[in-house]
Amino acid sequence: MTSDRLQRFHDRLSLPLIAAPMFLVSGVELMVAACRNGVIGGFPTVNCRSPEQLDGWLTDIATRLRQHEDHTGRKAAPLCPNLIVHRSNARLEQDLAVLLEHKPEIVITSVGSPAPVLKPLHDAGSLVLADVASIRHAERAAAAGADGLVLLTAGAGGQTGWLNPFAFVRAVRAFYDGIIVLAGGISDGRALHAAEVLGCNLGYMGTKFIATRESMADERHKQMLVDSSADDILLTTAFTGLQTSMLKPSIVAAGLDPDDLPARGAIDIGKDIDVGAREVRPKRWRDIWSGGHSTSGVSGVMAVDDLVAATVAEYRAARER
């Protein structure tokens, strides 16, 4: 973690790691557990039902982390809300207003250019990391003034990129000297160290945090990750119109054939669709689950304390070698 912009957090992190913001997974308990263990805690603001609930979450998390700091004398890692900046987010302005009031130290922008929100967030003292899935989008976010780029690479869970992480990181590092975060396939401390060697400042870990006791994920989702491997991950545009990594067993459980899905973005959860000669009503989004290639590294459902401790040990051993 060498970027000057990250130096303010150096003594507060046990790992150069962000617990990735995950839809319907990242909540208060997971954020508190990650941050007090020295891992930057990311969560999508849309996981809250309303701007009012977002305000409540931020207040609750801040209060609990202050109590932890008072008790242990150790300052927690930063919280990192994830703001969807696409025009489809009807709550963008309201959620942004809540963030500006709370002044989070880091904000991640997703699904669009960070340009419209950069100045107000910078004025509030926030570092802004923009997630990008192509070199063109990385160039645009860098030109707009983003403090960092989250590179969505092949293997990340949920909505993801398709570029090889080695090629993507090196291509971006050739023109960008800001913070680079690698998202996709980081399942342990050795992989995290490898990301640093490649030229990254931080890594995302998402899938293994789904399978923690503190995550909001359905218990069946957690167990499915334990029982699955990277071979059970399907990259598809059928559900969102965007490249998304999904767990095949959950698609099967919804009554669909992973090998014969409808066209790009055709599945509207909750509505009947034609599959061959029959109609299928897929279950809600919360019953069709995501996962990344690091699913192969999920061996059990763990407490965040134990997951971070194991990752720290792996990371330190890799650095010593």
Please report whether residue 293 resides in a domain. no
Q: Are residues 151 and 173 in the same domain?
A: yes
Average pLDDT over residues 178-196: 96
Please report whether residue 292 resides in a domain. no
Residue 280, pLDDT above cutoff 50: no
Average pLDDT over residues 303-319: 98
Q: Are residues 245 and 313 in the same domain?
A: no
Q: Are residues 95 and 210 in the same domain?
A: yes
Please report whether residue 115 resides in a domain. yes
Closest by alpha carbon to 226, among 217, 238, 235?
217
Residue 8, pLDDT above cutoff 50: yes
Backbone angles phi, psi at 264, to 5 degrees: -50, 120
Q: Are residues 197 and 245 in the same domain?
A: no
**With pLDDT > 90 as the criterion, what percentage of the chain qualifies?**
79
Q: Is 183 helix (H, G, I), strand (E, B) or coil?
A: strand
Please report whether residue 50 resides in a domain. yes
CATH of residue 48's domain is: 3.20.20.70
Domains contained in the chain, number: 2
Please report whether residue 246 resides in a domain. yes
Closest by alpha carbon to 16, among 31, 33, 2, 36?
2
Please report whether residue 15 resides in a domain. yes
Q: Is the separation of the CB atoms in 44 and 22 below 8 Å?
A: yes
Q: Are residues 102 and 185 in the same domain?
A: yes
Please report whether residue 35 resides in a domain. yes
Label residue 213 by pLDDT band (50, 70, 90). very high
Q: Are residues 119 and 132 in the same domain?
A: yes
Domain extent, residue 140, equals 4-216+299-320
Label residue 306 by pLDDT band (50, 70, 90). very high
Q: Give the pLDDT confidence of 121-165 residue by residue, as tens digits.
A: 999 999 999 999 999 999 999 999 999 999 999 989 888 889 999
Average pLDDT over residues 316-320: 95
Please report whether residue 294 resides in a domain. no
Q: Are residues 85 and 152 in the same domain?
A: yes
Residue 181, pLDDT above cutoff 80: yes
Q: Are residues 120 and 188 in the same domain?
A: yes
Average pLDDT, the chain: 91
Tokens of residue 217, six digits: 């994920």
Q: Are residues 17 and 128 in the same domain?
A: yes
Q: CA angle at residue 89 from 80 to 107, to 5 degrees? A: 15
Residue 3 has a pLDDT of 66
Q: Are residues 106 and 148 in the same domain?
A: yes
Q: Are residues 283 and 312 in the same domain?
A: no
Greater confidence (182 vs 268) lies with 182
Residue 269 has a pLDDT of 47
Residue 4 has a pLDDT of 78
Q: Are residues 270 and 139 in the same domain?
A: no
Label residue 51 by pLDDT band (50, 70, 90). very high
Q: Give the pLDDT confidence of 62-117 residue by residue, as tens digits.
A: 999 999 999 999 999 999 999 999 988 999 999 999 999 999 999 999 999 999 99
